[in-house]
Structure 1
Amino acid sequence: MNQPMKLQSHVWRYEEGAIHNVTDTIVTEFPITIILNGQEFATLVCSPEHIEELIIGFLASEGIIHHYKEIKELTIIEATGRAIIETHKINKLNVLFHSKRIITSCCGKSRQSFYFYNDARTVKPIDSVNVKISIEQCFHLMQLMQESSDIFQDTGGVHNAALCDRNGIIIARTDIGRHNALDKIYGHCLQRSIPLSDKIIVFSGRISSEVLLKVAKIGCGIVLSKSAPTELALRLAEELHITTVGFLRSHSLNIYTKPDRIDFQNI
């Protein structure tokens, strides 16, 4: 897309007892309205990068599609901020839950409407046992993710997410919305038929129930975060057999659920 991810802005900064007029780097937001089979479906507020991946991942995580091949045509019209999608078939029940929703970039209740019915109905436990990582690999993957985002280093205004294996990052995405970053990863994987059961999600934000459910929909059995989980997220993680690691800092971490995927042998 031609939309910039960041812009320069003049700000007045107070520092060491004085006011300075300086230039700062600010992240941008871009609204994209999804027109699904001729009907306005939802508007996503996002960072203007990897929009096609975002839309595909969003539709899949909301249960509108289950496979990339269900999309007949996808056209992004940047000038009007619209994405025109035609599908071969559609889950009409899931569409009824949407009513021209605006999915903001913040972490409010705008994304919570599906948990009690739709998510509980569609998400299945993660049974993968063929992925196991060491404590040192947890630290290494978090460091790689944090170093991968120039936008975060320049602005501090975005969330980062990465799909990893034990050795490193497979794909990393950045967005002003934490859910968007995960949807971009999901969309990328659906487009390329990337196997996910042996992969790891590394994430910069809080592990909320919504984030945990999204990880389950993507199909990964381990999620690493530098932030905290919520109580509901941990209950869901137990039910869905997901290993959650939080407060992952330079020399410490907390393993909250399913520790059998973490290798303690070389501590």
Structure 2
Amino acid sequence: MSAWAVRSGSDLPQRAERQILQYRDSTWAEVEDVVASEYALTIYVNDNELATIVCTPTNIEELVVGFMASEGIIQSADQIEDLTVSRFMGTARVKTKHQVTFNQAFYNKRYIASCCGKGRQSFYFHNDAVTAKHVDDDVHLEPNQVFSLLDAMDEEATLFHETGGVHMAALCRPDELLLARTDIGRHNALDKIFGNVLMSGISLAGTVISFSGRISSEVLLKVAKIGVGIVIARSAPTALAIDMADELGITAVGFVRGKSFNVYTHPWRMQR
């Protein structure tokens, strides 16, 4: 566990109710629908504004820690002296034990949206090259474990089943799900996993990431920064994600549907 104390209130609602007009089976009706909440969180590091993240307002401390580690600002939770979250103000104020230089290119202030696109990260950014690790873990999966892990993640996806508007990520061992996190931003869900790992000291040896969406290059980079050797997902990887997975030693498994899946890189981790 980290040595510092978090001071914050309880999580904000993950969902909201809205009256909508629905068309179904040739009939119009006014009904109440459940939608995912969206929350803007501004992170300050040593009184300097770092970024604003649009997220689901749960596990905010994990998100902040994971995001800072992913950006290369910290390497461990022990480098944080204090973390204070004001859910009412929408701020997270972090004090680090070391000096953070914000005039470097990879610490430039930027706005980070919850949607996909060019606004998030590129492997060619300096901090990505520094923080994306080559993964040598020899974790192996059997086919039935691939299906079981994604099924276990789906069982935790309460907010997705209610709203259809969030992503899920889970940290697993071959025979068990360790923790799952939800967010409107696919990157945020992975940062929450990363933050929990750093704050709790969970060993990453022999672990797997399961993911609800497609494996984009940004998602693949997050997995590399966390340091996990296998990522499994319901959807497809992109060509750039496959290239990165091959280079970084990560086994990318996609299109896990029914009783089939595709292994795109490093198939030696799959038991055949």
Alignment TM class, shorter chain as reference: over 0.9
Is 1:21 paired with 2:19?
A: no
Residues 114-171 of structure 1: CA distance to partner in whole angstroms, max 9, x if unpaired? 6343212332211111x11100000000111011111011111100000000111100
Is the contact made by 2:122 and 2:128 (CA closer than 8 Å) also made in structure 1?
no
Determine which of 121, 132, 146 is the counterpart of 1:138: 146
Structure 1 vs Structure 2 CA RMSD: 1.4
Pick closer, same or farther for the CA change 1:52–1:94 going to 2, 3 Å. Answer: farther
Task: Report SS of the residue matched to 1:115.
Answer: coil
The gaps in structure 1 that reach 5 residues or longer are none
User: What is the percent sequence identity of the aligned residues?
Assistant: 49
Q: Which moved more, 1:148-157 or 1:105-114?
A: 105-114
Partner of 1:148: 156
Residues 191-230 of structure 1 aligned to structure 2 (within 5 Å): 191-230=199-238
The gaps in structure 2 that reach 5 residues or longer are 1-9
Give, in whole Å, the separation in 2 of the partners of 1:115 and 1:83: 28
The structure carrying a bigger helix percent of its residues is: 1
Residues 147-196 of structure 1: CA distance to partner in whole angstroms, max 9, x if unpaired? 11110111111000000001111000000000000000000010011111
User: Displacement, 1:92?
Assistant: 2.6
Is 1:11 paired with 2:27?
A: no
Determine which of 188, 195, 203 is the counterpart of 1:187: 195
Give, in whole Å, the separation in 2 of the partners of 1:61 and 1:263: 31
User: Displacement, 1:90?
Assistant: 4.0
Q: Which moved more, 1:230-239 or 1:96-105?
A: 96-105
Give, in whole Å, the separation in 1 of the partners of 2:117 and 2:217: 12
TM-score, length of structure 2 as denominator length: 0.93
Pick closer, same or farther for the CA change 1:95–1:24 going to 2, 3 Å. Answer: farther
Partner of 2:120: 111
**Count, aligned residues:** 263
Residues 226-245 of structure 1 aligned to structure 2 (within 5 Å): 226-245=234-253
Give, in whole Å, the separation in 2 of the partners of 1:2 and 1:244: 33
Partner of 1:178: 186
Give, in whole Å, the separation in 2 of the partners of 1:62 and 1:121: 9
Is the contact made by 1:72 and 1:87 (CA closer than 8 Å) also made in structure 2?
yes
Partner of 1:263: 271
Is the contact made by 2:35 and 2:165 (CA closer than 8 Å) also made in structure 1?
yes
Give, in whole Å, the separation in 1 of the partners of 2:263 and 2:196: 28
